[in-house]
Each structure stands twice: as C-alpha cells, then as structure tokens.
Amino acid sequence: MNFKNVFLGIFASALLLASCTNDDTTENKMPLGAYDKGVIVLNEGNFGTPNGSVSFISNDYAVINNIFGIENSNKPLGDVVQSLSFSEDKAFIVVNNSNTVEVVNRYTFKSIATITDQIKNPRYSVVLNGKLYVTNAKTKSVNVYDAKTYNFLEVIAVNKVVEKIITANGKLYITNGAYGSGTSVTVINPQINNAMSSITVENGVNAIEEKSGSVYVLSGNAEKSKLYKINTTNDTATAIESTVLKNAKNMDIDGEKIYYTVGNNAYVMALNATSFSEAPLFSIPDGGYFTFYAFNVIDGKIYSANVNGFTAAGTVKIFSSTGAELKSVTVGMGPNGFYSNN
C-alpha cells in the first residue's frame, strides 16, 4: 500500500502474462516423486516480499501449497516467481525480482542449485542441447548457461525487449514484447554461431507456442488480434486475424486445439482454423487487468487463476474443455502460470 505510486511503474513491470509451457507427455508407470502426475502452479508473490511459492495440484485435485519451502527447509524462493521450464528431470524456476534461477528436481522439488551469475531481471527460460537460455530483461539479452553444471557460458545480445523463449527445429524463438506492445519475434540459431533474424508481427505480441514443428504467435491490441503460424524451416509466417476480438492473449495449445482469452471470455478453435472463433467457450467475472492472470490448458482441462488483488492467497478454477467448472482450489500469493508435470 505504502509507496504504491512511486513503485507503480516497477510493480506494473512485474505483471505479465503467464507462460504456456506444454511438455510432451511422458508415460511414467511409477511416480518419480511427490509432485509427479499433476500440475505445478507458480505463485509469483508480492513485489519486494520474498513470498513467491510453488503449489502442486494432483490430477485428482489434491492441493499441496508451498512445495519448494516444504522440500527445502523453508528456504525462501524469492519474489516475482515468473516462469518455469523443464529439462529431463529438472525444473528451472525463474525468479524475476530476486535475480535468480532456482534449479530443482521436477518430481521432488529438492533444490539442486541457484543460478545468479550475470542475472538481472530474468523473465523466461528454455533448455536446448544441454544449454539453458534465460531472457534477461535488464540487459536485453539471452544469457546462456550449462544445463548440467549451471556455469555461465555467454551472453547473446538482442538489444530489444526479450520476453518469452521457446525452441523449435533446433532454434530459439523469443518474443520482443511486454505490457501489450512489441512487434517482433527474434530467431536465434545456436547451430550456426547464434545467427539472429527477426520476424515482424502485429503490435502486442504476448504468447508463443510450439506445436508439431511450427511456432504459433499471438498478438493483440486495441484494434485487432492476430495469430501467426511460423514455418520453422524458412521462418516465414502466415496469419489469421480478428477485428472483433481485441487484445486477445493467453494463447495455449492443447492437443489439436488453440485456446485464448479476450477480457473475461475464454475461446477455443481448431489448430488449423482459418479464422478466429468469436463465440466464447465460457466467461468468468471481470477482474480488470487481473482477469485470467494465469490461463493454461493441460490434457483437456482449463486452469485459470484469480490473484485476488495480490492482497490474499490466489484462487484456481479448473474447467472442462467445454467450459464446465470442475473444481476451485486455493493456492499461494499471485498465481501466474500452470505447468504439466505428467
């Protein structure tokens, strides 16, 4: 409450959309740890107070909060727990305001390492060919670490806003946008000396997903929403757009369907749709900018989070793929993203 106005700008920078990370489903017979077979929820916490946390929702909706604290002698995770990426049995948790990447075992959540070298205002991460790539907002660069030793390797200067990062076809795709603006996607090819190129998109780039070798990118602004499909062989894009749906965001691909939100409505369309679906699948109460603060679709279930103004623990509502409410549970402070751990 105090000093809100001075810090408003900074605080606002902590408010970004949840990432959509769908790992390929692996068929494990035996659980590999207490947090196997379920959904990991990141709770970003209050800016400046290290109360970020991780919750686990099992596939039958049993909730365990504060799993990082429970498994690591109540070690604080930090604040503005921004994003998570998986690689093999590890999870890399990017903690924005604490300038750390926590490495944990994805099934037991035991801490393995804390990466701090050269990290300032980190946003998202991804692992490709044994290297961990972290978008570092302060330096407008992608920092590269060894994904086994966690040693710092190099900095790839982008000199543009760097936000979400995914891999496709052996390359890195990075959205150059935050807070509803940004008009490009940077492509980096680590196989040919980090050669860099850029794909121009509509203003308001906010989501990026890989599916079957293609990259899907969503942009939304006050005039229109536009979805791009990037051919990762030649990095050219085709697009569909809607001027009825404005400021679309939270694009997530599950199976052969693309989900997204506009205001307090959620939508779905086929992966190969030639136009946006403009009929809502379901709606939730309007909570201003905090509406659908997190929105992900995992194995046919839609997970959405209400951060309750960041003044109380967040609430997660789970919907069926047809929009029927299945369950409502309480998680930690400021839930901002869901990640499948199946």
Partner 1 sequence: MATKKFRLLSIILLSQFLLAQNKTAIPLNEVVVSDTQLKNFSSSQSVLKLNDSIISKNQSSLTSLLNYNSVIYFKENGLGMVSSPSFRGTTAQQTSVVWNGININSQLLGQTDFNTVSTRGYNSIDVKAGGGSVVYGSGAIGGTIHLNNDLKFSNTFKNNLEVYYGDFNTLSTIYAVTAATNKWSTNASFTRNSSDNDYKFIGKQGKNSNGEFYNTNFSTAIGYKLDAKNTIKLYSESYDGERHFSITSPNATKTKYQDFNTRNLLAWTSIFGKSVSNMKLAYITEHYKYFDDIEEEDFTSGEVKSFIAKYDFVYAFSSKINLNTLFDYNKSNAFGSGVGNNSRQVGGISVLMKQYITEKWNYELSARKEISDVYKSPLLFSAGTTIDFSSLYQFKFNISRNFRVPTFNDLYWETGGNLDLKPENSYQLELGNNFRYKDFNVSATFYASKITDMIRWLPTNTGNWSPFNTDNVSIYGFETLGSWKKNFNSHNFGINATYSYTVSLDDKNNNQLFYVPYHKATAAGSYSYKRFNSYYQFMFVGAVFTTSDNDPKNILSDYTISNLGMDYNFSKKNVFKIGFKVANLWNEIYESLPSRLMPGRNLTLYLTLNY
Query: Shortest distance, CB of residue 27 to partner 1, whole angstroms?
Result: 37
Q: Where are the alpha helices (DSSP H) in the chain?
A: 8-13, 67-71
What distance in Å separates the CA atoms of residue 325 and residue 225, rounded to the nearest whole number? 27
Please enumerate in sequence order all residues whose Cβ is within 8 A of that of 74, keeping only pairs 6 or more positions apart, or say none.
none
**Ranges within 234-253 binding partner 1 (CB under 8 A):** 247
164 or 301, CB closer to partner 1? Answer: 164
Neighbouring-strand partners of residue 206 = none
Neighbouring-strand partners of residue 337 = 42
Q: Which of 33, 69, 76, 280 binds partner 1 (CB under 8 A)?
A: 76
Tokens read off for 287: 């909570």
**In 10 A of CB 160, how many CB atoms?**
17
Note whether 285 binds partner 1 by CB under 8 A: no
**In 10 A of CB 245, how many CB atoms?**
21
What distance in Å separates the CA atoms of residue 6 and residue 74, rounded to the nearest whole number? 31
Tokens read off for 256: 């052969």
Cα separation values, 134 from 71, 121, 154, 207, 228, Å: 25, 10, 11, 17, 24
Q: Which of 20, 41, 42, 78 binds partner 1 (CB under 8 A)?
A: 78
Query: Shortest distance, CB of residue 220 to partner 1, whole angstroms?
Result: 11
Q: What is the DSSP letter of 8?
A: H
**In 10 A of CB 110, how many CB atoms?**
11
Query: Shortest distance, CB of residue 155 to partner 1, whole angstroms?
Result: 17
Note whether 192 binds partner 1 by CB under 8 A: no
**What values do phi and psi take at 88, rounded to 5?**
50, -125
Note whether 79 binds partner 1 by CB under 8 A: yes
Note whether 203 binds partner 1 by CB under 8 A: no
Q: Which of 72, 111, 183, 308 binds partner 1 (CB under 8 A)?
A: 308
- Choose one: 84-92, 160-168, 192-200, 311-319; the region binding partner 1 (CB under 8 A): 311-319
Q: Which of 23, 32, 34, 48 binds partner 1 (CB under 8 A)?
A: 48
46 or 277, CB closer to partner 1? Answer: 46
**Ranges within 94-113 binding partner 1 (CB under 8 A):** 95, 97-100
Q: Which of 112, 153, 271, 313 binds partner 1 (CB under 8 A)?
A: 313
What distance in Å separates the CA atoms of residue 134 and residue 184, rounded to the nearest whole number? 18
**Ranges within 208-227 binding partner 1 (CB under 8 A):** none
**Ranges within 17-46 binding partner 1 (CB under 8 A):** none
114 or 341, CB closer to partner 1? Answer: 114
Note whether 289 binds partner 1 by CB under 8 A: yes
325, containing H or E segment: strand 325-330
Note whether 3 binds partner 1 by CB under 8 A: yes
What distance in Å separates the CA atoms of residue 59 and residue 150, rounded to the nearest whole number? 32
74 or 212, CB closer to partner 1? Answer: 74
What distance in Å separates the CA atoms of residue 128 and residue 83, rounded to the nearest whole number? 17
Note whether 15 binds partner 1 by CB under 8 A: yes
Query: Shortest distance, CB of residue 255 to partner 1, whole angstroms?
Result: 30
Task: List residues near partner 1 by CB under 8 A.
Answer: 1-6, 8-12, 15, 48-51, 76, 78-79, 95, 97-100, 116, 119-121, 138, 179-180, 247, 263, 286, 288-291, 308-309, 311-313, 333
